[in-house]
Structures are given as structure tokens and as C-alpha cells.
Amino acid sequence: MLKRISYSMTDKAPGWPGNPTVKVEPHSLISEGEVANGFQVTFFNHFGSHMDGPKHFNDEGPRLPELPIENFFYKRPLLVDIPKGFKELVRADDLKSYEEQIRDADVLLIRSGFSTTRKEDADRYASEGPGVSAEACQYLIDEFPQLKAIGMDWISLASYAHLEDGILAHQYLLGKFHNRFICIIEDLNFEGLPAGRLKSMCSIPLFIEGIDSSPVTVVVEI
């Protein structure tokens, strides 16, 4: 069975505080006498379900369109449950209990359960969400060279409540201090997925020249 775990883009979805979101305007409408429907879409490239490429926090790193296409396909996805609430951080110790499973994975998905807040209180989802700590990101980049990406069910790897730590967390994963990187997939929906190994996954961004990161469509095979 295939399941899309990335959100549809909507102007009602939460965005990182202070950042633009998405705007959809009709360009031509059949209902107004035109022969075809067409729309102009303006969006921020770090809005909604999106992938952070290395260039986002590492100016020497590649942009997403410069990566091999294999970077966006995963044969050994792993979904782990690490419950986190408002402003809480995933620590290295939270991950160490899954260490052997992570060694056999090429993408790590962390389910905190926080995605329910996206529907209940979008403002708090954006401004008071969890994050992955810098020391946990250093642990991932140091110990798991096979990981291509990490995904989460909250708005950003960084918690808005811990901005300095969140900047460092991004820098660790995106290769600022290493000769390798782990891409980051933010704002995903893992509701209804079985924990553990999934059969496969793909994470396809919009390949737009010149930008660091992009909205992404993510599909898992259960």
C-alpha cells in the first residue's frame, strides 16, 4: 500500500513564525469565459512539507537539484516513536535505544505525536514545537554514514524556543562541519503508519534552479 505523508499546500497551513507561506491566485478561469483554468502560485521554499538541502545552512554545500537522484529514494525507511511535546528536544539518548535499527536504515523518521497540534492550534504548532537537539544531530552525522535523510512530524528540525541550538543542529546535519550531510524533511504526517521498518519511501522535491531547498512530495510503501 502507498501512502502520501507530505501535506497539501494551503494558505491556512502554519509556517515558521515571520516567514512567508503560499499565495494562490487565478490567472484564467473557465467560469469567467476563458478556455482553460490556470493559476499563479507564489510560495516560500521552506513552507509546508519541504526538504532542507545542504546549501540551506552550509554555503559550500550543494543545492537539491545538484544531488544525485538516488538521494531521494530510500529502500530501508525506519519510523521510530519518540513522544515530544511543546518546546521539547529529541536528545541523543532518545535515539540510542534505536541505535541498531538506525544502522540498518537509509532514512530515519521521528514520530513525536505533535502533528495533532497542527490541526488544533496552528500558531502553537509553529512557535512552540519540538526540535532535534544539536548534540543528537552530531550523534547522527558521526555514527550513521548510511543515512540519506531524517524526517519529522513537526514544523522544523529546530524548535523556535531553542533557536541557537536549532541553528547548530541544522549546521551539523547539512555538512558545515563534515564532508557529508543528511538532508532534512520537515512538517510530515505519520498518523496511521506502523512503527518500525517501512518497505520503501521516496521524497521528491521541486527541482528549481538556484534555490537551496524545496517543497517535497513524500510517499511511503507500507
Mean pLDDT within 105-119 = 97
What's the confidence (pLDDT) of residue 52?
Answer: 98
How far apart are alpha carbons 183 and 190 in whole angstroms?
18
**How sure is the predictor about 44, in pLDDT bands with cuts at 50, 70 and 90?**
very high
Tell me how far CA of residue 176 lies from CA of 32, 133, 173, 181, in angstroms: 51, 16, 8, 8
What's the confidence (pLDDT) of residue 26?
Answer: 97
Closest CA to 147 of 55, 217, 80, 57: 80
Mean pLDDT within 76-104 = 98
Mean pLDDT within 157-171 = 98
**How sure is the predictor about 19, in pLDDT bands with cuts at 50, 70 and 90?**
very high
How far apart are alpha carbons 203 and 216 in whole angstroms?
6
Closest CA to 52 of 166, 137, 173: 173
Task: Calculate what percentage of the chain has a pLDDT beyond 90.
Answer: 100
What's the confidence (pLDDT) of residue 27?
Answer: 98
Handedness of CA 191, 121, 82, 103 (dihedral sign): positive
What's the confidence (pLDDT) of residue 212?
Answer: 97
Task: Calculate what percentage of the chain has a pLDDT beyond 70.
Answer: 100
Residue whose grid cell is 478561469: 29
Cβ atoms of residues 99 and 128 within 8 Å: no
73: buried, middle or exposed (CB in 10 Å: 19+, 13-18, 0-12)?
middle
Tell me how far CA of residue 140 lies from CA of 169, 197, 199, 200, in angstroms: 10, 18, 22, 21
Mean pLDDT within 188-212 = 97
How far apart are alpha carbons 40 and 102 in whole angstroms?
41
What's the confidence (pLDDT) of residue 29?
Answer: 98
What does the mean pLDDT of the chain come to?
Answer: 97
Cβ atoms of residues 158 and 126 within 8 Å: no
Mean pLDDT within 2-21 = 97
Closest CA to 212 of 172, 170, 152: 170
Q: What is the pTM of this model?
A: 0.97
What's the confidence (pLDDT) of residue 72?
Answer: 98
**How sure is the predictor about 181, in pLDDT bands with cuts at 50, 70 and 90?**
very high
What's the confidence (pLDDT) of residue 74?
Answer: 98
Could you tell me the domains of the chain?
A: 2-6+50-221 (3.50.30.50)
